[in-house]
């Protein structure tokens, strides 16, 4: 009897773990700056629910994203914060919004 040909299975090499990182993920510093901006805007807009309505999400989702540091923030959150605040995304991510020492009600900066 002749021997049956063996089937060969080719496997692609797995990419390194760093390549599995989700593109566009915020750094811990950018997440912290975005959370500060979210809290500032919540005060300025009169609460989490009013800000959530303006950002087109639920109040619970927004509040849990702002207060729970165990969960990573999506980059879209920073984009929506910048849209509502009327500033650039770079200002939100770099911590330039809100300016340190500014009042969340009126935006006045103390000298």
Question: What does pTM read for this prediction?
Answer: 0.72
Residue 79: the pLDDT is 93
Distance CA 76, CA 109 (A): 28
- 32: nearest Cα among 20, 40, 43, 22: 40
CATH superfamily of 26-94: lambda repressor-like DNA-binding domains (1.10.260.40)
2 pLDDT higher than 70:
no
Q: Between 110 and 90, name the one with better pLDDT.
A: 90
């Amino acid at each position: 009897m002749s021997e049956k040909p063996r089937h060969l299975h080719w496997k692609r090499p797995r990419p390194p773990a760093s390549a599995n990182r989700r593109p566009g993920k915020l750094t811990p510093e950018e997440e912290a700056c975005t959370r500060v901006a979210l809290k500032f805007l919540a005060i300025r807009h009169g609460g989490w629910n009013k800000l959530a309505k303006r950002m087109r999400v639920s109040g619970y989702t927004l509040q849990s994203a702002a207060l729970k540091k165990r969960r990573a923030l999506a980059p879209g959150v920073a984009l929506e914060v910048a849209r509502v605040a009327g500033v650039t995304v770079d200002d939100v991510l770099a911590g330039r919004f809100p300016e340190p020492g500014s009042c969340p009600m009126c935006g006045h900066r103390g000298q």
